Structure 1
Amino acid sequence: MDMLENEKLIMKDGHQILAVKYLKNAKIVIYFFSASWVENTRDLVDKLKTLYDENLKRNTKMEIIYVSADTEETHFQKDLSKQGPWAAIPFKNNAADTLRWRYDITCLPQIVVVKKDGSIISRKGKDELEKLGINVIVTWSDYVQT
């Protein structure tokens, strides 16, 4: 993915990983746009965790990246600790602004699902996940040729 080609991502435990390494086997990237101050995201994060686990079982080659809009690092770190086992754009990294601009994120939380090349599968990922649950894997995977 060209936008993240030279970027590092941060994992929940604090270690960093190159985005190209993290996305090496991914066919689909799920961008989860949120922030610590966004209310009532626990249910959504739980659904993402369930989706992530099911993705691993089915080997559907999806990866999630958390993109925070936090302006204070302590808030970012606290919110990151509540996320699942996926990567995040590090605090105050320009890639977060670039992703919000590219995918026209105007409210939070939002989930944008893209192919590895960045082309959009769904801008309504949050609504689709809430409506379909883990079955959204089938819907999103249909957009990717095997």
Structure 2
Amino acid sequence: MTHRLSDRVVWLVGRVSLHAQRLVQDQLATGPHRKQHYGILASLADRGPAVQAQLADRLQLDRSDLVSFLDELEAARYVVRRGDPDDRRRKIVAITPRGQKLLRELDLLVYSADDQLLAALSPDERVTLARLLARVLPDADRPDAG
């Protein structure tokens, strides 16, 4: 039986997204790190140090959940939190060299999930798919958005 939305892109993208998230989760399950750890480290590496509240907003994480993830990352010396010189109540989070090394290792796991997801596509089809998906993202979510 065919699903009523099986020819609709919103349904297909949703299903592919769930499958992609499972593949990433399976890759990360080989070690002690979570998808949120990866997102935090990648954001700090790509966009630089951030105030905790801004980082939570950037990653769409609950602020109290972010604090728990940062506690884990800081205990392992992957990130460092320092007081904001302009506002003592705020903490600025930065990735450490040890965190950069871990991020490169986690990147390989995410790339592996990407390869698994796109195994049925040719290299040219992969490039086309990535370009089309980036075009339909809201402006703020596009890879080149600041």
Fold in common (TM above 0.5): no
TM-score range, shorter chain: under 0.3
Say which structure is richer in helix. 2
State which structure, 1 or 2, has the greater radius of gyration over its C-alpha atoms.
Answer: 2
TM-score, normalisation: structure 2: 0.28
